[in-house]
Structure 1
Amino acid sequence: MVRAPLLPVPLALTALVLAVPLLTGCGRPEAGEAAVGPAPVVVTVAEAVPAPGASLVRGTGTLAYKRELPLSFKVSGRIAAISVDVADSVRKGTRLALLDQAEVSAQLREAEAAVTRARQDLDRLEPLLEKGFVELSRIETARTSLQAAKARRDAVAFNRSLSEITAPADGVVLSRPVEPGEIVPAGAPVLILGDRGSGLIVRVGLADRDIGRIAPGNAAEVLLDGRTLPATVDRIAAKSSPGTGVFDVELALDPAPERLSSGRIVGVRIAPVAGADAGLLAIPSSAILEGFGMEATVYVLDPETGRVSRRMLTVAGLDGPFTLIAGGLAPGEQVVATGAAYLRPGDPVTVAGPQTATIDR
């Protein structure tokens, strides 16, 4: 084994004394030297500003006639003719479609023959009753048979009258799912007619958090082709749709402009009930760090210290690039709009420039 040479004791003590100042000097700043902290992060900030009207309930709806009537035949059969096509305007009482009459006419002739036979039987038995050749019960049976035959004839005649479709109102043909020559079952839609007299409505599905903020009679706006059409909340569903969980809301257009097509997609804005938008603030959505349902976190700037703190907010919804805040911020407080991802609570920041959460209407 190789051993390091030992220094003489006086020399070892001298080396130790010289090393102590060097070791202690490494951990202390020189006189007048300041301790170095984290460099400020350059950010932009935005003030939380009141958002009057920002809580308008927004959605996307579909234009439709208030009454859209599926028209069908009372009986099954082969379609002989359809005299209209999609988008055709029709007048009330116009014949639109017709079944092949051969089968139903044969049924009517059979029913009329049954009535004739039952009446002949009764006429033949009634004189015999007066002579005592037949019992009264037999006469009553014959009368019942005649009544049943008449009822059957009337039913077939009614079905025959419904083997053609006539327009129940002035309107426009919205759909024609079948063609002449097809055999259709009873009740199957042959045409769908939009009733012009019923007016146009907009159907929109809204989440449960928005349903509590509106009521029938509230003013609304329908946005279509750059136009804003006045509307009113007419009906609100009492139950949500099982498939989507949204509530169907109907808006009435009054007056309804002409030349609007059923099925067009439109934007909808509904004024909430009084007080529903009180206290809402707007901040840029870029300021949101994390979201948990209706809660979100942001960094808030303390202008006196130039440092940021993390804060939980209550979110009321979105409005374009802005987030609406219902609680956790006061008007005028500044949130970090950009650069928040590089911050920790208590960090100093340098503000590059303010950003205003202005909501255009």
Structure 2
Amino acid sequence: MTRAAMLIAVLGVFIAMTVIVAVRSLGDASPAQRGPGEQALPVSAYVVGEHTFADIVEALGTARANETVTVTARVSDTLSRVAFDSGQSVEAGDILVELTDTEEAADLNEARATLREARRELDRVEDLIERGIAPRQRLDEASAAVERASARVSSIEAQLADRIIRAPFSGVVGLREVSVGSLVRPGDPIVTLDDTSIIKLDFSVPERFLSTLDPGMSIAAATSAYPDAVFSGEIAQISSRIDPVTRTVTVRAEIDNTDRRLRPGQLMTVEVRRDERASPAIPGAAITRYLDDSFVFVIEGEEGSARVRQQPVQLGRQNGDLIEVTDGLMAGDRIVGEGVHRVRSGMPVRIAETRGAISSGGSSRAQPLAAATSNP
């Protein structure tokens, strides 16, 4: 009897505990389980907006001038004039330096005098021939003398032109390497000249990305000199060869540089943007996952009678907390933005706050398609 009494007592305690747990569970039941009188759960709503996404290939590149040349002399002599300052902008045809031309100037005066005398002699011979006094042969000899004198004048003028060094194109000169009186020889550097109105950005990417690159694709570049600036451009050319050692292909992009902020030789990070598209985007906190499927809770109905519905979605690229939605949502849809673990499909909700924007056209940079970093 004692043993039976103990079993009865234990069973009674177990039943009492079960009743207590059941009562508490009913008291703590979620609003979706309370029937017609259920209470709406406050949630934070997010209005889906469209953002621009793109697949991105990243690389390192080196900035180069659109045109660049090291100005040198064609003859040996001393400088008589330097017509530029370091860093000055010049136009095509502007004089940069002049070499001493005293001897050539004297030779030119002599040659011009000889030419004038030859022409006077030709005029006299023509007059004599018209009067029938001189033979025709004299006219040929006088004409040849004029041609020889004219050719000598042209030759000396060309020599003088070689002593005036002009800018071959418009651009910015570098640091001056010479002074008046300096002796220069052919090949000696006088100054560098760069056309930086357009910057050519050369960078290398692995050959596996060759099929994804085409001339005309947009790029975005940045440099540590201007950490808050983004320089936009587009691919101009792709090399016809792949480096057999590094297995990379060189790509050249062009960036407008009318403000002259970029300079040749700068190291820049490059992002090649491909397949740019405007897609709905949502925060990562709004997504729930089960196995390989992703879901969001769409808010339906007006304030006071709103309920949530579980909606499967297909996701694309990600940028920080914004994730591209390729299927399942449209711009303007309202979803539960935070606290999705507290709601169930069909549950009534009360919107406590609303974030996001309905209007499209926002910009968002997608996660890189791949990092293709290489040495410049």
Provide the TM-score with structure 1 as the length reference: 0.50
Q: Which is strand-richer, 1 or 2?
A: 2
